[in-house]
């Protein structure tokens, strides 16, 4: 086994490197990371969940080829809430209403939280803008929404709202 695939690297880094290989790009569309599964039934349930909701997953995470089962479960729960005509959409998106009015800021927030896992550099690469531009936009989002993107709790609420936003739009 090559040195770059030693256990000291995080699984997602190893998987992303492997997925970037030419052969794999043509053969495998998506990999879902499912940790701590001990029963065969868990694998079957996870497989069915991903297969049944793969279009919603592609809509929410268009730039990701490797993600965890947890992300899949969030998408499924929010999608089911939206289908049930409950107040899910208004509850999740309510505090982002001021940001939704500015399409550029909303797009930046979704890329930052969903596609770039809160990495400024990756966000700037995906948006084709300078890192400082991303920093400025995130600051404006925080000012407009009152959401502190450095706070885990507030950031997680924005994350869930961005999932709902992508599912709706």
| pLDDT in the model for residue 5 | 43
Provide the β-strand partners of residue 67: 32
| pLDDT in the model for residue 122 | 94
| Count of C-beta atoms within a 10 Å radius of residue 123 | 24
Nearest to 143 by CA among 107, 169, 105, 114: 105
Tens-place pLDDT, residues 82-129 = 888 767 777 888 878 889 999 999 999 999 999 998 999 999 999 999
Q: Which pair of tokens denotes residue 8?
A: 């000291």
**Residues of the chain with confidence (pLDDT) below 50:** 1-7
Judge contact between 33 and 67, C-beta under 8 A: yes
Burial tier of 162 (Cβ tally within 10 Å: 0-12, 13-18, 19+): buried
Question: Which residue's structure tokens are 């936009």?
Answer: 137
| pLDDT in the model for residue 136 | 96
Nearest to 65 by CA among 123, 10, 112, 115: 115
pTM over 0.85: no
| pLDDT in the model for residue 124 | 96
Rounded Cα–Cα distance for residues 167 and 79 (Å): 7
């Amino acid at each position: 086994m090559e040195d770059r695939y030693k256990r000291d690297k995080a699984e997602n880094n190893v998987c992303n490197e492997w997925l970037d290989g030419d052969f794999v790009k043509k053969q495998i569309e998506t990999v879902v990371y499912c940790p701590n599964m001990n029963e065969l039934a868990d694998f079957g349930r996870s497989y069915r969940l991903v297969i049944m909701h793969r279009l919603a997953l592609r809509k929410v995470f268009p730039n990701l080829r490797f993600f965890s089962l947890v992300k899949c479960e969030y998408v499924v729960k929010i999608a089911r809430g939206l289908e049930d005509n409950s107040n899910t959409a208004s509850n999740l998106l309510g505090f982002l209403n001021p940001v939704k009015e500015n399409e550029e800021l909303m797009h930046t927030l979704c890329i930052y939280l969903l596609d770039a896992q809160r990495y400024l550099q990756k966000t700037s690469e995906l948006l084709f803008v300078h890192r400082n531009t991303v920093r400025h936009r995130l600051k404006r989002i925080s000012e407009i929404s009152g959401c502190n993107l450095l706070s885990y709790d507030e950031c997680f609420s924005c994350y869930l709202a961005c999932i709902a936003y992508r599912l709706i739009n």
